């Protein structure tokens, strides 16, 4: 299988330009025609869906009105029993029984039972003539507790089997209980009771079973918590063979929305039923492809085939006109790929192909120039990066130095204050050096001398320093700000935990044609492994220092003077550290110093 796939890929790759243009144009046309067909079919389907949704919305609206009307009639019956019978009659009087019986007879098509239950759970009166089942404690029933808890509140229960009363039939019917707390009078004394009306559940069965939504849709009824009151597949739900997203629907607002439920795109229509907070939910899927849709699809397929035939003829003509000049240009490009940048490119063919040939020819000349400039540009970029880094003066050094000056003035030590101000001025003057990066050894040594003087005053003579420079090397070239970061490391790292007796020696001397700078300290030192990493890793300098690491100094030296020059680190734990700088011995002014 893999071998056949590789052969297929190879054959496609080796197609001629004419065949490639023909295939690509044809494939593009097929994709375009397919997209247009899909869009047209989608528009047709959307139109059909919109019609179905509109029709279903009308059906759900009428069903909702029927349920709302049914529940309002039930509440009117409850009000009639309460205000016309119970409230105006003593329960010891037979008139209450007659009144309840009259209402029951007039509404027996929707009412199964009417019962008046005392606050202690005993049955006062019921219609038809029934009695409570043995062992039933009404006061423990959910409808009784909720009705007694809220006066004048009408409570509707979930559908359940009518099992509160004894009856002659062997089977039990399904009902929805409607109950409310009422005030009854017995021998002139008012007490609380509960009026219970069991509504016939068959009303919902007959109403919803006749509702048919288009496109395989269905309707179901839930309460405000999402519990199912009626569903066309209710038995399957109870048996666990079907799952409805009724809890999800309970959180939706009234109206029509498209929801992704169970990986299916469904249109959901929600209508809330008045007082109860029940929700009527209509669910429909996408429109199925009917006979008219099939005819439309066949018509689109016929038109697509006709366009493809005409396109094949046009593509064959266009591919021949384009392929020959491109094939010649392709031969020239292959020569360039082999490394022959002197290939002779003769542009021909259409305007675009000729322009492409001219562009490739111009590109070759630019490549030659860019290749020669690439190394120089890279070096210039690296120099710029290092120059930016070394030009940054750490504010902590400046703040601490100014604090020392203020302290000396306040303690009446003007001579020392003048000395440190003079040293600081020389330090910044040499740091600037008119923007030059190559300065004399004299200036570089003077710069580090001023730095050591300031630091020695800051650290209150915790270390001594000595600078030894041969007079003959003072006029040689040096890299600016080369010594100061290394001396800074010796102070902050080598002597960080020393209490005193620190020594830093700086020397500069010449051997043959080479110039050497050494910075030696008697600080804590470091192991050979740690010393070897100073020049190979980006060690983050102390925040108290300049921010220029040993590695950066080493790279700057190599960048300005060549790869054969740089730093050498020698160190032993508890013995100290020696850093040697190797530069070429070049008299300042003999070469371009502003590099």
What pLDDT is recorded for position 10? 44
Helices (H), 199-340: 202-209, 234-239, 246-250, 291-337
Highest averaged pLDDT of the listed ranges 6-10, 89-93, 283-287: 89-93
Question: pLDDT band at 289, cuts 50/70/90?
Answer: very low
Task: Please list the residue range(s) of the chain that carry CATH number 3.30.450.20.
Answer: 89-165+173-204
Q: Are 130 and 173 in contact (CB under 8 A)?
A: no
In percent, the amount of the chain with pLDDT more than 70 equals 77
**Cβ within 8 Å of residue 366, ≥6 positions away:** none
In degrees rounded to 5, what are phi and psi of residue 205? -60, -45
Region 429-447: mean pLDDT is 74
Question: pLDDT band at 438, cuts 50/70/90?
Answer: confident
Q: What is the spatial distance between Cα 362 and Cα 356, in angstroms, rounded to a whole number?
A: 10
- Identify the residue with better confidence: 506 or 128: 506
Q: What is the spatial distance between Cα 505 and Cα 518, in angstroms, rounded to a whole number?
A: 8
Nearest CA-CA partner of 466 in 479, 452, 478, 480:
452
Asked if residue 482 has pLDDT above 60, the reply is yes
Residue with tokens 């063919």, as numbered in its chain: 349
Output the six-digit token pair for 332: 């020239």
The verdict on whether omega for the bond into residue 541 sits within 30 degrees of 0, i.e. cis, is no
Output the six-digit token pair for 168: 């002659």
Asked if residue 80 has pLDDT above 50, the reply is yes
- Identify the residue with better confidence: 105 or 92: 105
The residues with which 190 forms a beta bridge, in sequence order, are 185
- Identify the residue with better confidence: 292 or 442: 442
Pick the range with the lowest mean pLDDT from 22-36, 83-97, 336-350, 389-403.
389-403
Q: What is the spatial distance between Cα 73 and Cα 159, in angstroms, rounded to a whole number?
A: 18
What pLDDT is recorded for position 170? 43
Counting Cα atoms < 13 Å in the Cβ hemisphere of 457 gives 25
262-277 tens-digit pLDDT: 777 788 889 988 888 8
- DSSP at 500: S
The helix-helix angle for 351-390 and 291-337 (nearest 10°) equals 70
Question: pLDDT band at 19, cuts 50/70/90?
Answer: confident
Strands across the sheet with 566-572, in order? 463-469, 502-511, 514-521, 576-584, 566-572
For residue 513, give the 3-state DSSP assignment.
Answer: coil
**Cβ within 8 Å of residue 61, ≥6 positions away:** 271
- DSSP at 164: S
Pick the range with the lowest mean pLDDT from 223-232, 435-444, 501-510.
435-444
The residues with which 200 forms a beta bridge, in sequence order, are 175
Question: pLDDT band at 369, cuts 50/70/90?
Answer: confident
Question: pLDDT band at 468, cuts 50/70/90?
Answer: very high
Q: What is the spatial distance between Cα 258 and Cα 269, in angstroms, rounded to a whole number?
A: 9
Region 430-446: mean pLDDT is 75
In degrees rounded to 5, what are phi and psi of residue 193? -145, 175
Output the six-digit token pair for 134: 């043995």
Pick the range with the lowest mean pLDDT from 64-73, 161-170, 435-444.
161-170
Region 565-573: mean pLDDT is 89
What pLDDT is recorded for position 543? 46
Give Cα separations from 192 to 86, 93, 188, 215, 450 (angstroms): 12, 17, 13, 52, 102
| Assigned CATH topology for domain 89-165+173-204 | Beta-Lactamase (3.30.450)
Region 71-90: mean pLDDT is 87
| Assigned CATH topology for domain 391-584 | Heat Shock Protein 90 (3.30.565)
Q: What is the pTM of this model?
A: 0.45
Output the six-digit token pair for 71: 């529940």
202-227 tens-digit pLDDT: 888 888 887 877 667 888 999 888 89
Nearest CA-CA partner of 461 in 417, 427, 416, 499:
499
Region 10-23: mean pLDDT is 64
In percent, the amount of the chain with pLDDT more than 90 equals 7
Q: What is the spatial distance between Cα 161 and Cα 149, in angstroms, rounded to a whole number?
A: 24
What pLDDT is recorded for position 463? 82
For residue 271, give the 3-state DSSP assignment.
Answer: strand
Asked if residue 508 has pLDDT above 90, the reply is yes
Region 7-24: mean pLDDT is 62
392-430 tens-digit pLDDT: 445 545 555 665 666 567 665 666 666 667 766 666 666
Beta-strand pair 576-584/514-521: antiparallel
Torsion of CA 17, 18, 22, 24, to 10 degrees: 10
Asked if residue 175 has pLDDT above 70, the reply is yes
Output the six-digit token pair for 493: 């790292």
Q: What is the spatial distance between Cα 248 and Cα 543, in angstroms, rounded to a whole number?
A: 58
Asked if residue 512 has pLDDT above 50, the reply is yes
What pLDDT is recorded for position 420? 67
Q: Is 293 exposed, middle or buried (0-12, 13-18, 19+ CB in 10 A)?
A: middle
Strands (DSSP E) found in 401-451: 438-440
Q: What is the spatial distance between Cα 505 and Cα 509, in angstroms, rounded to a whole number?
A: 13
Asked if residue 342 has pLDDT above 70, the reply is yes
Question: pLDDT band at 476, cuts 50/70/90?
Answer: very high
In degrees rounded to 5, what are phi and psi of residue 90? -75, 135
Question: Mean pLDDT over all residues of the chain?
Answer: 78
Task: Please list the residue range(s) of the chain that carry CATH number 3.30.565.10.
Answer: 391-584
- DSSP at 416: H
Q: What is the spatial distance between Cα 312 and Cα 304, in angstroms, rounded to a whole number?
A: 12
Region 365-391: mean pLDDT is 61
Q: Is 178 exposed, middle or buried (0-12, 13-18, 19+ CB in 10 A)?
A: buried
For residue 192, give the 3-state DSSP assignment.
Answer: strand
Nearest CA-CA partner of 552 in 532, 535, 531:
535
């Amino acid at each position: 299988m893999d071998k056949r796939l590789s052969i297929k890929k190879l054959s496609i790759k080796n197609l001629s330009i004419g065949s490639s243009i023909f295939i690509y144009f044809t494939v593009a046309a097929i994709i375009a025609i397919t997209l247009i067909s899909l869009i047209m079919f989608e528009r047709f389907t959307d139109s059909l869906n919109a019609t179905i949704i509109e029709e279903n919305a009308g059906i759900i609206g009428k069903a909702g009105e029927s349920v709302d009307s049914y529940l309002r009639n039930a509440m009117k019956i409850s009000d009639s029993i309460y205000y016309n019978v119970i409230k105006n009659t003593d329960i010891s009087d037979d008139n209450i029984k007659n009144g309840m019986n009259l209402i029951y007879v007039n509404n027996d098509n929707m009412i199964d039972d009417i019962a008046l239950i005392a606050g202690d759970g005993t049955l006062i009166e019921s219609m038809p003539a029934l009695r409570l089942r043995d062992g039933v404690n009404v006061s423990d029933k959910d409808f009784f507790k909720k009705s007694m808890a809220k006066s004048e509140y009408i409570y509707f229960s979930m559908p359940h089997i009518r099992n509160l009363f004894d009856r002659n039939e062997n089977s039990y019917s399904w009902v929805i209980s409607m109950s409310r707390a009422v005030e009854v009078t017995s021998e002139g004394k008012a007490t609380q009771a509960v009026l219970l009306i069991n509504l016939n559940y068959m009303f919902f069965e007959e109403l919803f079973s006749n509702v048919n939504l288009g496109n395989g849709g269905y309707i179901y009824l839930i309460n405000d918590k999402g519990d199912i009151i009626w569903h066309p597949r209710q038995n399957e739900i109870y048996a666990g063979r079907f799952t409805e997203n009724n809890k999800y629907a309970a959180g939706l607002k009234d109206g029509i929305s498209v929801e992704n439920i169970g990986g299916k795109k469904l249109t959901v229509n929600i209508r809330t039923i008045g007082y109860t907070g029940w929700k009527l939910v209509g669910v429909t899927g996408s429109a199925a492809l009917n006979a008219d849709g099939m005819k439309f699809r066949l018509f689109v397929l016929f038109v697509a085939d006709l366009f493809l035939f005409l396109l094949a003829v046009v593509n064959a003509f266009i591919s021949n006109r384009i392929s020959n000049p491109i094939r010649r240009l392709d031969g020239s490009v292959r020569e360039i790929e082999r490394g022959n940048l002197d290939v002779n490119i003769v542009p021909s063919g259409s305007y675009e192909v000729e322009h492409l040939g001219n562009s490739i020819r111009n590109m070759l000349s630019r490549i030659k120039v860019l290749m020669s400039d690439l190394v120089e540009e890279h070096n210039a970029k690296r120099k710029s990066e290092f120059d930016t880094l070394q030009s940054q003066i750490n504010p902590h050094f400046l703040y601490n130095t100014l604090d020392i000056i203020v302290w000396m003035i306040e303690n009446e030590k003007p001579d020392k204050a003048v000395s440190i101000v003079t040293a600081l001025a020389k330090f910044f003057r040499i740091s600037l050096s008119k923007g030059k990066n190559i300065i004399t050894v004299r200036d570089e040594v003077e710069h580090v001398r001023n730095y050591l003087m300031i630091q020695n005053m800051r650290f209150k003579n915790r270390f001594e320093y000595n600078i030894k420079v041969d007079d003959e090397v003072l006029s040689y070239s040096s890299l600016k700000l080369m010594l100061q970061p290394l001396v800074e490391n010796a102070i902050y790292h080598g002597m960080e935990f020393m209490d005193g007796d620190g020594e830093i020696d700086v020397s500069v001397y010449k051997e043959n044609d080479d110039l050497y700078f050494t910075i030696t300290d008697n600080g804590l030192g470091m192991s050979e492994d740690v010393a070897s990493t100073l020049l190979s890793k980006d060690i983050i300098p102390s925040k108290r220092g300049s921010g220029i690491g040993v590695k950066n100094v080493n790279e700057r030296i190599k960048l300005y003077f060549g790869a054969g020059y740089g730093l050498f680190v020698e160190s032993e734990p508890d013995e100290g550290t020696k850093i040697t700088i190797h530069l070429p011995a070049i008299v300042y002014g003999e070469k371009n110093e502003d590099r």
